Amino acid sequence: MVRINPNKWIRIPPTIRQFWILARDGLSWQTVLLNRFTITLVLIVVITAGAQAYITTHDSGTITGQVVDESGDPVTNVTVVLVEMGLKNQVNRQTQTTDSTGHFSFPDTNALEFRIYAQNGELQSDVQRIHLYYRGQPYQVTLVLNGSERN
């Protein structure tokens, strides 16, 4: 095995040479990689990277759902209201109308916490308060138009 001897070209002080020997002989890849500090650090990095990869591939931000009546039949042409909530107050309000199968969709929402309800004239569903785990998380919700009076 060829060993580089830097002392051939420059004069290295004995203290630095001794530290080089200490590092060379005292540290092996096993001691550096297979200890609990490195393993913990690697685990944290892997879990974070995995979570970030999942979020990046699942960030459509589409909130979909269906409005049904108390017997479970879809209700058409109902207004669905989505109110985006901030930490202090509401920040955004959007509405959509259900199609012929009672479905609705809010594409590209950036909400983290929101309230959603359906209203049809004087009737209204219960207000559902939903918090997502990350912005852009797709979410599906079923709203029951149960005949409660509109607030």
CA angle 42, 46, 50 (to 5 degrees): 175
Q: Which is nearer to other proteins, 11 or 36 (CB)?
A: 36
Q: Which is nearer to other proteins, 123 or 132 (CB)?
A: 132
Q: Rounded distance, CA 63 to CA 107, Å?
A: 6
Q: Which is nearer to other proteins, 54 or 134 (CB)?
A: 134
User: Least distance (Å) from other proteins to the CB of residue 87?
Assistant: 6
Q: Which is nearer to other proteins, 14 or 121 (CB)?
A: 14
User: Least distance (Å) from other proteins to the CB of residue 33?
Assistant: 16
Q: By the criterion CB under 8 A, which residues form the site for other proteins? A: 14-15, 18-19, 22, 26, 36-37, 40, 87-88, 112-113, 129, 131-135
User: Least distance (Å) from other proteins to the CB of residue 112?
Assistant: 6
Instruction: Give the SS3 label for residue 20.
Output: helix
User: Least distance (Å) from other proteins to the CB of residue 136?
Assistant: 11
Number of helices and strands (H, E) in the chain? Answer: 3, 9
Amino acid at 43: L
CA distances from 15 to 8, 25, 55, 128 (A): 17, 15, 51, 70
